[in-house]
């Protein structure tokens, strides 16, 4: 085969699956969501990091956290409820214990998920991450209660959210993507607040507040009483919220909530997402993120979509 034929072969390889999020180029728009993909290293024998866009770490706090008592996960008719309670090893143990290996894994793009119960907690996590090479983006989880303000969740109050995002974005050495709480009346207001305070991207949705009771025992099925609902049951609400956020701001959106397959991913992109995240699906199939990334490529081929990025915001009204 001559050089030209080889070049043609390369061009004919298929759709361009790359997307750019806050200046970071991803090989695919499909990303593994926080809390459902461990610290990434657990998946190195399971899937190819070169075939997925990136992964988001478990939420990282300034100190290690044991999480909530069990039972803390149950299945629902169309998803799951969890009250893991943000169990994690702490940011320092992550940087020292997991980052060296993650930096060796071909194609692994690391998004570090940050949370805290005060603004200072979050700033301390960011300070530690800033000194760690190999991290591409920060995802700031705004669904945490602010213990300095009577437990009010940062992401449900525009003043708390703006203050948190402003301080974190100023300190951060990497772009900050703010993960919004969906437990609000106006997601557009929260999207505009975060963007106005310095967020360079948005992630949504996090889980919806929920509760389940066992009629036999009359007790809550989850020890924490309330829990976060995720999975296919929340998808239509999540698509609506991504659409509303995309109408409100001009920064990239990472859309998620119940994505199980490639056409679900396309739906979120048409609603306005630049990239998507897959969470609960990884519980049923640990290879789900890669399968969906591969499926999205096939979907683009079948629908003659030359650049996956052209799907973003493409809903026809």
Ligand X SMILES: Cc1cc2nc3c(=O)[nH]c(=O)nc-3n(C[C@H](O)[C@H](O)[C@H](O)COP(=O)(O)O)c2cc1C
40 touches ligand X by CB under 6 A: no
Q: Minimum distance between the CB of residue 85 and ligand X, rounded to whole angstroms?
A: 9
62 touches ligand X by CB under 6 A: no
Tokens of 103: 């930096």
Q: Minimum distance between the CB of residue 115 and ligand X, rounded to whole angstroms?
A: 7
181 touches ligand X by CB under 6 A: no
> For residues 272 and 248, is the Cβ–Cβ distance under 8 A?
no
Scored b (16 or more CB within 10 A) or e, 78-115 reads ebbbbbbebebbbbbebbeebbeebeebeebbbbbbbb
82 touches ligand X by CB under 6 A: yes
**Peptide linkage before 205 cis (omega within 30 of 0):** yes
**Distance, CA of 271 to CA of 218 (rounded, Å):** 40
The sign of the CA dihedral 78, 311, 52, 56 is: negative
**Distance, CA of 296 to CA of 265 (rounded, Å):** 7
200 touches ligand X by CB under 6 A: no
129 touches ligand X by CB under 6 A: no
Among 136, 207, 210, 224, binds ligand X (CB under 6 A): 207
Among 29, 30, 31, 34, binds ligand X (CB under 6 A): 34
**Which stretch in 39-47, 130-138, 274-282, 307-315 sits in contact with ligand X by CB under 6 A?**
274-282
Among 28, 61, 113, 274, binds ligand X (CB under 6 A): 113
207 assigned binding-site residue? yes
294 touches ligand X by CB under 6 A: no
**Complex with ligand X: residue 15 or 245, whichever CB lies closer:** 245
**Distance, CA of 228 to CA of 19 (rounded, Å):** 29
266 assigned binding-site residue? no
Say which of 122, 144, 168, 300 is annotated catalytic: 144
Among 210, 224, 230, 291, binds ligand X (CB under 6 A): 230
182 touches ligand X by CB under 6 A: no
> 23 vs 18, 126, 177, 207, 228, CA distance in Å?
12, 19, 12, 27, 31
> For residues 26 and 274, is the Cβ–Cβ distance under 8 A?
no
168 catalytically annotated:
no
Any idea what the Cα angle at residue 125 is, between residues 146 and 245, rounded to 5°? 60
Give 147-180 as a 3 state SS string: HHHCCEEHHHCHHHHHHHHHHHHHHCCCCEEEEC
Among 17, 26, 33, 275, binds ligand X (CB under 6 A): 33
32 touches ligand X by CB under 6 A: no
297 touches ligand X by CB under 6 A: no
58 touches ligand X by CB under 6 A: yes
Scored b (16 or more CB within 10 A) or e, 7-40 reads eeeeeeeebebebebbebebbbbbbbbbbbbebb
Q: Minimum distance between the CB of residue 187 and ligand X, rounded to whole angstroms?
A: 14
**Which stretch in 7-15, 161-169, 185-193, 226-234 sits in contact with ligand X by CB under 6 A?**
226-234
Any idea what the Cα angle at residue 169 is, between residues 163 and 172, rounded to 5°? 135
**Complex with ligand X: residue 119 or 227, whichever CB lies closer:** 227
Which residues belong to the annotated binding site for substrate?
58, 82-86, 141, 206-207
Interacting residues toward ligand X by CB under 6 A: 33-36, 58-59, 80, 82, 84, 86, 113, 141, 179, 206-207, 230-231, 234, 256-259, 278-281
Q: Which residues are known to be catalytic?
A: 144
Residues of the binding site: 34, 58-59, 82-86, 113, 141, 179, 205-207, 231, 257-258, 279-280
């Amino acid at each position: 085969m001559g050089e030209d034929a080889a070049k043609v072969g390369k061009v004919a390889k298929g759709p361009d699956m790359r997307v750019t999020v806050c200046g970071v180029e991803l090989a695919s728009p499909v990303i593994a969501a926080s809390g459902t993909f461990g610290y990434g290293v657990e998946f190195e024998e399971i899937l190819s990091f070169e075939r997925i866009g990136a992964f988001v770490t478990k939420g990282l706090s300034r100190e290690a956290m044991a999480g909530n008592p069990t039972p803390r996960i149950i299945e629902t008719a169309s998803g799951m409820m969890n009250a893991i309670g943000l169990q994690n090893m702490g940011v320092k143990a992550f940087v020292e214990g997991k980052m060296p290996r993650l930096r060796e894994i071909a194609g692994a793009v690391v998004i570090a998920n940050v949370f805290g119960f005060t603004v200072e907690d979050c700033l301390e996590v960011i300070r530690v991450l800033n000194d760690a090479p190999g991290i591409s983006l920060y995802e700031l989880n705004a669904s945490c209660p602010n213990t300095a303000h009577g437990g009010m969740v940062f992401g449900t109050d525009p003043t708390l959210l703006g203050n948190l995002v402003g301080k974190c974005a100023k300190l951060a050495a990497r772009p900050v993507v703010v993960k919004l709480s969906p437990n609000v009346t106006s997601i557009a207001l929260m999207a505009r607040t975060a963007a106005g305070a310095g967020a360079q991207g948005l992630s949504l949705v996090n889980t919806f507040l929920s509760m389940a009771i066992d009629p036999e025992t009359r007790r809550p099925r989850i020890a924490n009483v309330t829990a976060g609902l995720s999975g296919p049951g929340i998808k239509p609400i999540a698509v609506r919220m991504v659409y509303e956020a995309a109408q409100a701001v001009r920064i990239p959106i990472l859309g998620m909530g119940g994505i199980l397959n490639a056409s679900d991913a396309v739906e979120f992109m048409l609603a306005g997402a630049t990239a998507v995240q897959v969470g609960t699906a990884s519980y049923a199939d640990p290879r789900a993120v890669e399968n969906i990334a591969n499926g999205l490529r096939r979907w683009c081929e079948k629908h003659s979509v030359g650049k996956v990025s052209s799907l973003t915001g493409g809903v026809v009204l």
